[in-house]
Amino acid sequence: MFGRKKKREVHSEDMVLAEGIYLKTPKMQIGNIVYSCFLRSVIAFLLTLGSVGGFLSALQLSYNYLLVIVAYMLLSLYFSFLYALPKFLYRDMGYIAFFAVFVFAIYTFRIHANSGLYVVVNTVLQRAKAFFNLSGVREYETQIDNDYLTVAIVAIFIGMVLIIILNIWLYSRMSLIWAVGLTFPLLLIPLYMKLVPDVLYMIFLAIGYTMVVIFKANGHYLAFAWDKPFKIKEGKHARVSYTQDAGVFQHVLVTIMVFILCISFALQGVIRPGDFERQFHSDNLREKTADTIGNFILLGFAGLYNQYSSVGGMSGGKLGGVSNVRPDYMTDLIVTYTPYSNQAVYLKAFTGGRYLYQNNEWEDLYTYNEAGSDEDITDFEDESMKQEMLSLRQDSGKYYAQGVMKVRNVGADGTYLYYPYYTQFENYSIFKNHAMFESMQGLNRGTTGTYTYYPKIVWEESLGETTPGKIDKSNMNEEFLDVPEENADVIKAECKKIGLTDTMTENEITDAVAQYFEDNIPYTLSPGATPRDEDFINYFLTKNRKGYCAHFASAATLIFRQMGIPARYVEGYAFSLESVLASEMNEGEKAADYYQGYSAIGDTPVMDVEVTDAMAHAWVEVYIEGFGWKVVEVTPSNSLDTDENNFWDAFTSAMNNLGADGDQTSGILGDLDMSKLLWGVYMIIAVVCLFVLYRMGVIVVCKVMRYQKCHQSDQREAVVARYADLCDRIRLCDKAFNACKSHREQLQYMKDKYGLSLDITVCCEVMEKISYSRQEIAGQQLVEMMQMIRQVKKAVWKQATFLQRIRLCKR
Under rule CB under 8 A, which residues in 239-268 are in contact with another protein? Answer: 239-242, 245, 247-248, 251-252, 255, 259-260, 263-264, 267
Q: Check residue 14 for interaction with another protein (CB under 8 A).
A: yes
**Contact set for another protein, span 47-106 (CB under 8 A):** 54
Does residue 185 contact residue 222 with C-beta atoms inside 8 Å? no
Closer residue to another protein (CB): 93 or 271: 271
Task: Indicate the angle between helix axes 147-172 and 33-48, nearest 10 degrees.
Answer: 120
Give residues 205-224 in contact with another protein (rule: CB under 8 A).
206, 209-210, 213-220
| Sequence-separated (6 or more) residues with CB below 8 Å from residue 595 | 337, 338, 340, 401, 402, 403, 404, 604
Tell me the β-bridge partners of 453.
403, 423
CB 29, min distance to another protein, A: 7
708: exposed, middle or buried (Cβ count in 10 Å: 0-12, 13-18, 19+): exposed
By beta-carbon proximity to another protein, the closer residue of 237 and 798 is: 237
Closest CB 278 distance from another protein, rounded Å: 10
User: Any idea how long the chain is?
Assistant: 811
Q: How far is CA 130 from the centre of its chain?
A: 26
Nearer to another protein, 15 or 121 (CB): 15
- Contacts with another protein: how many residues (CB under 8 A)? 74
Shortest approach of another protein to residue 45 CB, angstroms?
A: 19
- Residue 194: helix, strand or coil by DSSP? coil
- Shortest distance (Å) from residue 24 CB to another protein: 4
- How many degrees, rounded to 5, is the angle at CA 616 between CA 134 and CA 296? 30
Integer Cα distance of 266 and 271 in angstroms: 9
Integer Cα distance of 296 and 119 in angstroms: 19
Mapped onto helix, strand or coil, the DSSP state of residue 53 is helix
Least distance (Å) from another protein to the CB of residue 514? 55
Of 252 and 782, CB closest to another protein? 252
Q: Whose Cβ is closer to another protein: residue 177's or residue 685's?
A: 177
In this complex, which beta carbon is closest to another protein, that of residue 73 or of residue 248? 248
Does 271 interact with another protein (rule: CB under 8 A)?
yes
Per-residue burial over 23-45, b if 16 or more Cβ lie within 10 Å, else e, is beeeeeebbebeebbbbbbbbbb
**Helix/strand/coil for 285:** helix
Task: Decide if residue 707 touches another protein (CB under 8 A).
Answer: no
DSSP state of 660: S
Q: What whole-number distance in Å separates Cα of residue 282 and Cα of residue 353? A: 47
Least Cα distance to 505 among 388, 634, 619, 625 occurs for 625
**Contact by Cβ (8 Å): 637, 552:** no
Decide if residue 287 touches another protein (CB under 8 A): no
Residue 26 in contact with another protein, rule: CB under 8 A? yes
Nearest to residue 444, comparing CAs of 474, 420, 479, 409? Answer: 409
Rounded to whole angstroms, the Cα distance separating 165 from 284 reads 34
Site string for another protein, 172-191 (x = CB under 8 A): ----x---x---x--xx--x
Nearer to another protein, 192 or 329 (CB): 192
Please report how close the Cβ of residue 20 comes to another protein at its closest, in angstroms.
4
Report the distance separating Cα 790 and Cα 471, nearest Å: 98
8 A C-beta contact, residue 789 and residue 748: no
Which span (11-19, 91-99, 412-420, 651-659) binds another protein, by CB under 8 A?
11-19
- Nearest approach in angstroms of CB 241 to another protein is 4
Q: Is 238 a binder of another protein (CB under 8 A)?
A: yes
Q: How far is the CB of 38 from another protein (least distance, A)?
A: 17
Nearer to another protein, 5 or 774 (CB): 5
Q: Least CB distance from residue 39 to another protein, whole Å? A: 13
- For residue 296, the minimal CB distance to another protein (Å) is 17
Residues 347-386 that bind another protein (CB under 8 A): none
User: Residues near 294 by Cβ (< 8 Å), separated by ≥ 6?
Assistant: 128, 132, 134
User: Least distance from C-beta 629 to another protein, angstroms?
Assistant: 56
The residues in 453-492 that bind another protein, with binding defined as CB under 8 A, are none
Determine if 3 is a binding residue for another protein (CB under 8 A): yes
Nearer to another protein, 14 or 725 (CB): 14
Query: Which residue, 239 or 695, has its beta carbon nearer to another protein?
Result: 239
Looking at beta carbons only, is 1 or 739 nearer to another protein? 1
